Structure formats: structure tokens, C-alpha cells
A and B are shown apart, each in its own frame.
Chain A
């Protein structure tokens, strides 16, 4: 009997201890993730309440966005004849408009007509840089002020000229997919399109409903260099580390300078832009990367008049960080 009593006591006390420990370990907010390979990258959706048929829903939204971006000929549209006019859909026309605004603001450091250069370098498969002659030929076909957008008609004066939607597409897709998910009754979530983050709704794990988005450390010494707290917006980064090849000990990355014809080298390793307008955030992160800090800050000063929610983080090769308007997102850096 005595032995039985001791065993019972031991059992009860241990049960109490175990239940307390289990409660302590439990995740306070459940997260559901769906991962896909789409839009030439890895796409992860995070939900706090799993929507019905979440996998097929996410896939159909991704393919719809991709279709909108590519239905006029692909992410790259190139003129096959002199004086060619291409009919665009409303989405692509609005992206061209935004890109033209940014191009004129930064004096051509960003240029959506960089397509011939992108095709020539073909960074994904290249193992050596193109010849100087070929680069000069491609650069001669670049010029945002030479194309004309009239309504939805895009006019190319010369054969071989083209536009590249690659630097704006994911930003647009994040906004479009978030919009559709909200229409479908999804209250909150995160859409991660290859490191371009779109958050929507209220984060149930934060008293103010904000999402903490880390900014990747380009050096890889730590996972992040800092973070921002955001709601219903985009956090989009352009980094030299994303795509590159090494030839004779030199790194050639994928963000090309339309003026020189070579990958932009100005001491910037990555630029992160926060903005409600995803396409603009995506375009700007590339524009600021190519223009570099000084010209970039001038551009941001002009843009903030119309877009007071714009903020940017520059990370330089030496590991230092410069910010613009990040206080509104409670930015913290290590």
C-alpha cells in the first residue's frame, strides 16, 4: 500500500511538471507554410490560419500573376524590327510607367530598356563575361527616353531594343497575390518571392499586428544585419550575392549598370526598399543599387514627397549600413 502511495504521488507530481514544461514549449501562434518553385525562384507563403485548399489557391494565384507578367512575350520583350509597336496589358503598361518615372529621376542609372544587355550577359548560365565589342553594341540599344508608351502601345524605334520586367515583376506579383488572398478571406500572411517580402493583415503574434522582417546580411557572417517592423507593405532587396559567376577571380553579378554595360560596382552589396507599391519597391531597389548611395539619396528625397512610406537600407561591401526614413519602421541594426 505504502509503495503504491509513493508511486502514485510520484506519478502525479511528474505529470504536473511535464504539463507545465510542455505548455512552455508550445508555439504561441501556429504558422502554416506552402513552398513552391515559381517565377524562377522559391516562393513561400506563410499563413496563420490555413485557408481551404491553400496549396492549389497559392499555385493558381502564382500562375495568374506570372501569366499577367509574361502574356505579351515573356519577362523580356524585344523588338524584331525597326519601329515596332507592342501592345501591352494594363499591368505591364503601369510597370513601364513607374520604371520611366524612376529612370528619369535617377538619370538613367536604372533603365527598363536594359534587356539587350541582360540577354547578352545571361548571368545564370554564363561562365565568362561577353566581349567589350558586344557590350558596346548592347549598350547602344539602351535608352528609356527612346521608347514611347502611348496608352498600352509601346513603341521601339530600333530592332533589338527591348524591355526587361525582371526587376519589377516579383514586386508586382507580391501585391497582386496579397490582394487576391485578402479577397479570398485570408486575414493575414507573408508572401516571400525569393527574398522579396510582402506582408498583409495583422500578425497575430504581435500586439500591434506588425511583422518583423529581417534584412539579410550580404556577407553571410550572420543571418541578418537588422530588421524592420512593417504592416501591409513590401520589403524588397536587391543584392549582388543573389546571382553571379566568378571569372579569373572577379565576381560578375546580375545587376547590370546600363551606362557601363558591366555589373554595377560602387561599394554597395545590397539595397532594401520598403514601400506599399511592390513594383515601385522592386524597381527602386535595383535603381538604388546601380546608382549607389549618393545619387540614390537624392532620388529618395524626391520620391518621398509622393510616397511618404518609402524607406531604404544600403549595405556596403565593408559591412557598414546607411538608412533612409527607416525610423518609421522601428529599424534595428546589430
Chain B
């Protein structure tokens, strides 16, 4: 091995910089995912109708029966066709394991994610 090969070359520095910045970006991405990786699942008559991230503001219309509004990390229901409006009155949910249930329309909205409990009684 000649002496020239042992020297730090410009390409090595670039390579190191690229790897380090990739690792920092990956770590930041993972940190973000873990602190707010909750998913909003909407079930219609037992079938998964839609799945969205809790962290992205979005409104999902469920078969014209209600709007599921995801905003600032919480979920609530608007424009429900159901006369009792229980789902709208139940307000916003934002924590893993919480759910909004509309029995007349058979719609279940729940927040899921990795967590400490296997199930919630209540």
C-alpha cells in the first residue's frame, strides 16, 4: 500500500459528510415518527374504510354520512347525517386508544399506535 492511499482524500470527506447527514436526518425522522406515529382508522360496518396519520390535517368524508376532521393532532366529527348527533357531541379525541363511535351509521373512528396497553376497558 503506497503512502498516497493512506491520505485523507476529498472524496472521503464528502462521503463522511453524506453519511453523517443521512444519519442525522434518519434519527430526526424516527424521533418524529415515535413521538407522533398515531394513526386514525375509520371503520364502516366493520370494514376498514380509511387510515390516515393523526399528524396531517385532513377531512375524510365517510360515504356522505359524516366528515371526519383531523386537525392539529386531534379528530372530531362534523356534518353527521345522524339525527342524534352523538358522534358530534362526543367532541374531539387525540390520544391513542380513544375512539368515536356512531352506532346508527355503524362507523368507528379510533386512534391506534404502538403503546403500553393491549386494550382499554371503558
Contact = CB atoms under 8 A, between A and B. Distances in A.
B117 interface: yes
Interface residues of A, number: 50
Interface string A110-131: 0000000000000011000000
Given A213-B120, A215-B121, 17 more contacts: A9-B15, A10-B19, A17-B26, A25-B33, A27-B114, A35-B46, A40-B103, A46-B119, A192-B119, A197-B121, A205-B118, A214-B119, A214-B120, A215-B120, A215-B122, A223-B98, A223-B120
Given A10-B19, A42-B108, A190 B26 contact: no
Report the 6 A-B pairs with minimum CB-CB distance, sorted nearest first. Answer: A216-B122, A214-B117, A223-B95, A235-B121, A214-B120, A223-B97
Interface of B: 11, 14-15, 18-19, 22-23, 26, 30, 33, 43, 45-46, 48, 84, 91, 93, 95-99, 101, 103, 106, 108, 114, 116-122
Contacts of B45: 37
Given A14-B22, A222-B95, A6 B117 contact: no
A10 B93 CA distance: 44
16 contacts: A13-B19, A18-B26, A21-B26, A34-B46, A40-B103, A41-B101, A41-B103, A42-B108, A46-B119, A199-B118, A212-B117, A216-B121, A217-B122, A220-B91, A224-B120, A237-B122
Contacts of B84: 124-125
Nearest to A236: B121
Contacts of A17: 19, 22-23, 26
B116 A212 contact: yes
Contacts of B116: 212, 214, 227
A42 B30 contact: no
Nearest to A38: B46
Contacts of B93: 220
